[in-house]
Amino acid sequence: MADLSVNIGSLMMSNPVMTASGTFGYGKEFEDFVDLEKIGGIIVKGTTLHHREGNPYPRMAETPMGMLNAVGLQNKGVNYFVEHIYPQIKDINTNMIVNVSGSAVEDYAKTAEIINELDKIPAIELNISCPNVKQGGMAFGVSAKGCSKVVKAVREVYKKTLIVKLSPNVTDITEIARAAEASGADSVSLINTLLGMAIDAEKRRPVLSTITGGMSGAAVKPIALRMVWQVAKAVNIPVIGLGGIMDWKDAVEFMLAGATAIQIGTANFIDPAVTVKVSEGINDYLERHGYTSVKDIIGALEV
């Protein structure tokens, strides 16, 4: 076995493979299908200060090699998470990470402050890039100023590893990544979904209730890979790459482009055990190429 361990800030992971928020529930739902302890980190559903209903149906649409979603951060709020969900997931023997979303800077900070008290949650991922909510969400992630504001506020109250999840729906993602780093992020993850749209020609109506939605899956990979490569060159903090990773080969490509760790989202819907298969595939790749550690391939792309 090669050494697959990596660090994201003070977060230590046994391997670089994580689940992407919103695609793996709270982890528990998948325990019959995959050995959760073999996943480097599980990023749970987006959590907000208050209960959110999410958007009306229909909120999913299939696309060639991908999907559109407009779930809209449906969750029961952070206090429900603390009382009812945390007790169920706290003893899962891997890094359980909470994805935090909000509509106002104060909401993000308050939610992060509450989660800071949970011993078994070693990190949060700040979602400043959700395209499916009317207020906030992506609004913070599309300007360096907005990003700085929310990251600084959270950094003041959150003492553990702070990952900031970036939006691809911007002109220059490196500018936002640098703002996150300067404001105290320990890591940036990218990409969240790309803004897209689907139309039902027969009905002459949009397919999604929200008209537009977030595009994910294999089709977005080249864009995500390009952005990870750009951001990895622009910042000194570890980059977590995601967007269209379907197998170990995709994962290795993101790591060669500069990602220290990777996340898998849409592919979980096709194969709930994909994370562990990807981790095994990375190990095989390392052994085949004579690498003893996965760290040897991070940013090892030759151009």
Residue ranges in contact with ligand FMN by CB under 6 A: 20-23, 45-46, 69, 71, 73, 99, 127, 130, 165, 192-193, 216-217, 220, 242-245, 264-267
Query: Closer CB to ligand FMN, residue 272 or residue 291?
Result: 272
Query: Closer CB to ligand FMN, residue 34 or residue 242?
Result: 242
Query: Is 199 annotated as a binding-site member?
Result: no
Among 141, 110, 146, 115, smallest CA distance to 43 is for: 115
Determine which helix (DSSP H) or strand (DSSP E) holds 194, and give its type and residue range.
strand 194-197
Q: How far is the CB of 224 from ligand FMN (least distance, A)?
A: 7
What's the one-letter identity of residue 25?
G
Query: Is 136 annotated as a binding-site member?
Result: no
Q: How far is the CB of 147 from ligand FMN (least distance, A)?
A: 14
Rounded to an integer, what distance in angstroms lies between the CA atom of residue 44 and that of residue 51? 16
Dihedral of the alpha carbons of 11, 17, 20, 21, in degrees to the nearest 10: -40
Query: Which residues does residue 214 pair with via DSSP β-bridges, in sequence order?
Result: 69, 195
Q: How far is the CB of 1 from ligand FMN (least distance, A)?
A: 26
Query: Closer CB to ligand FMN, residue 46 or residue 146?
Result: 46
- For residue 147, indicate whether it is catalytic: no
Q: How far is the CB of 121 from ligand FMN (least distance, A)?
A: 16
What's the one-letter identity of residue 146?
G
How far CA 153 is from CA of 21, 73, 113, in Å, comes to 22, 21, 10
What's the one-letter identity of residue 40?
G
Query: Is 165 annotated as a binding-site member?
Result: yes
At 32, list the tokens. 């019959």
Query: Closer CB to ligand FMN, residue 16 or residue 46?
Result: 46
Query: Is 265 annotated as a binding-site member?
Result: yes
Q: What are phi and psi of 271, to 5 degrees?
A: -145, 105
Among candidate residues 13, 89, 130, 133, the one labeled active-site is 130
SS3 53: coil
Q: Which residues make up each annotated binding site for substrate?
A: 45, 69-73, 127, 192-193
Active site residues: 130
Q: Which residues make up each annotated binding site for FMN?
A: 21, 45-46, 99, 127, 165, 191, 217, 243-244, 265-266
Q: Which residues make up each annotated binding site?
A: 21, 45-46, 69-73, 99, 127, 165, 191-193, 217, 243-244, 265-266
